[in-house]
A and B are shown apart, each in its own frame.
Chain A
Amino acid sequence: MKETVIKISLCMVALISVAVLFAVVGYIFLKGIQVISLDFLLKPPNYTALEKGGIFPHIIGSLCLLAVCLLFAVPLGIASGIYLAEYATENILTKSVRFFVECLAGIPSIVIGLFGLIFLVYYLGFGPCMLSGGLALGFMILPWTVRASEEALKAVPRSYREASLALGVSKWQTIRGVVLKSAYPGIITGILLGAGKAIGEAAVILLTIGGLVTYLPHSLLDDVGALPVYIYTILTVVPASRDVAESHAFGASLVLIMMFLMISVFALFLRNRYIKRMSGSRG
């Protein structure tokens, strides 16, 4: 009897997280869907009242920032991952590389934002722009990409490498032709999960890009908008008409959640396919 009561109450507690998720996403969805229209999605904000108009430049801006971020973090992350998984011998140097990757992952995003502000925006003189924001985001997700690649590479069975090396293929060719080929779905999944984090991140880019924009960026050094910054800014900086600002923030939140969902569903799809393939090859 007592056991059953406890079991049921544990179950109730466990369902709280589910309820919270549905409450948040459901509320945002119901409020956001009322605002979303083609005009909202495809028009820039008004010049005079920035909280009015659409969010098109901010959607594009978010995607541009994500692209810059991935262009920086992905090649560097994969290269580091390959080194750690394939070449590194266990010595003080590789241990410290791993330690510093962990360190980097532990740095609060606002501190990375401050670093972006001082280093990219002022010291290197990029100013608040797409390049600064994208690189700062890249700094943030670099540890994710390193870790994802290292783990995916380590999951490739040793026998694949041995078979290839035994055929007289050199080490680098083995890595490129055999190991990376069977590890890439895992790597991509990890990177996509990082990208999902990056697209919703506000603190880092808030400090490294401007604020609201009404135009599209033309170069890397142009000012650029981003959805998380849009939500924050229309609520705090220009609330000339509070109601419009709030409803638009709901719309932008919904778009942001949708973007995140698309990225993660794609990542999960890849992961499942990958798991199936790996277990298939083993059986």
Chain B
Amino acid sequence: MSTLEHVRGLKLKFGRLDLAKEGIIEKLLFIAALSSILLVFFIIAFMLKESIPALALGWNFIFGMTWCPGHEQFGIFPIIVSTFVVGTGALAIAAAIGIPTAIFLAEFSPRWLRNIIKPCVEMLVGIPSIVLGFFGLMVLVPFIRDSLGGYGECILAGWIILAIMTLPHVISISEDSIRAVPEGYKEASLALGATQLQTIRRVLLPNARSGILASLILGMGNAIGETMAVLMVIGNPEIPWIPSSILEPVRVLTSTIVLEYSYMEWGSMHQHALFAIGVVLFVIVAIFNLVTTVAIKGRFGATAAIKGVIGGR
């Protein structure tokens, strides 16, 4: 055996050792990365397993009109309708305030004013939802009761509180997508003699449309998945019904789970039904998130901002 071969062997050996160590580290990191997949599968599996008896009721569950666990009646249609009513209204308010704000921030605002408004909007996301709900309960509910009548705890209160929660997302994504419209479009329009307002209406907004739309769909998903804030202000009647006025108390999917989980009997149909509500909620929110992702694909928009916010419960 020559020296040369010996050295080559050593080199190979150490090289392999090093490579092995690097390989192990890479494997470990890979396993960590897989944990998210695993977690999602676990969540889906456990939620489904617990809810199958209720989901097996089929249309009677989704489209059943009465929810009365004491009498073994588990129809969640009124709850689903209420959820969408509360979510849509909140979104309408958030859009009415959020889109003009986004236009102002992107086009008109002087720098110093933007530096005040923007951080305030960001802080708004941070108010814990339970605190916001409590504020709604103490301020908004008595105000509605005194000025408009009814119980005070009602759809309208839910709209306002949820609008406050979704507003920051709508503002930041819409602003980003307005800013993402190429400068040249704007300049071309201005050069043709259009005023700033005409430019905004005819050039900026149509081009930013997909981003703004995405922010709204995303906001809807967030609003529907929101729990504590809305729970405190919407009244949650014992037996839910389809509301006919915005001053009526309602029950939404999330609040039903929180209110009833503590006294459900483990293993009963009631428990399965509550988990099934969780599954329904999961599916609805997942659809909204998916539509958002599709809506912004391949357009000007705020992909990064959206990614940052999808998790922003």
A positions within 8 Å CB-CB of B? 2-3, 6-7, 9-11, 13-18, 20-22, 24-25, 27-28, 31, 75-76, 79-80, 82-84, 87-88, 94, 96-97, 100-115, 117-119, 122-123, 139-140, 142-144, 146-147, 170-172, 196-197, 199-203, 206-207, 228, 231-232, 235, 246, 249-250, 253, 256-257, 260-261, 264
Contacts and interface: CB of A to CB of B under 8 A. Distances in A.
B268 interface: no
Interface in B251-304: 254, 257-258, 261, 266, 274-275, 278, 281-282, 285-286, 289, 293
Contacts of A170: 18, 22
Contacts of A171: 22
B242 interface: no
A115 B43 contact: yes
A10 B135 contact: no
A206 B261 CA distance: 10
A112 B39 CA distance: 10
The interface residues of chain A, by DSSP majority, are classed as: helix
Contacts of B105: 14
B127 A24 contact: yes
B205 interface: no
B197 A13 contact: no
Contact of B100 (A10, A28, A146, A228): A10
B128 interface: yes
B270 to A, nearest CB: 14
B36 A104 contact: yes
B271 to A, nearest CB: 9
B75 to A, nearest CB: 20
Contacts of A146: 36
B285 A108 contact: yes
Contacts of B258: 110, 203, 206-207
Interface centre among B123, B132, B275, B313 (most CB of A within 10 A): B313
B104 A10 contact: yes
A109 B43 CA distance: 12
B276 to A, nearest CB: 10
B141 to A, nearest CB: 12
A106 B289 contact: yes
B43 A111 contact: yes
A143 B227 contact: no
Interface of B: 18, 21-22, 25-26, 28-30, 32-37, 39-40, 42-43, 46-47, 50, 97, 100-101, 103-105, 108-109, 113, 116-117, 120-121, 123-124, 126-132, 134-135, 137-139, 164, 167-168, 171, 195-197, 221, 224-228, 232, 254, 257-258, 261, 266, 274-275, 278, 281-282, 285-286, 289, 293, 307-308, 310-313
A256 B30 CA distance: 37
B227 A196 contact: no
A147 to B, nearest CB: 7
A7 B36 contact: no
A102 B32 CA distance: 16
A23 B32 CA distance: 43
A202 B46 contact: no
Contacts of B129: 200-203
A101 B232 CA distance: 30
Contacts of A31: 138
A24 B132 contact: yes
A17 B121 contact: yes
A24 B135 contact: yes
Contacts of B97: 13, 16-17
A6 B117 contact: no
A202 B228 contact: yes
A103 B104 contact: no
B36 A110 contact: no
A25 B127 contact: yes
Contact of B126 (A104, A107, A114, A264): A264
Contact of B33 (A28, A83, A197): A83
A42 to B, nearest CB: 22
A80 B33 contact: yes
A197 B226 CA distance: 13
Contacts of B261: 114, 117, 207
Given A6-B197, A142-B39, A203-B254, A257 B29 contact: no
A172 B22 contact: yes
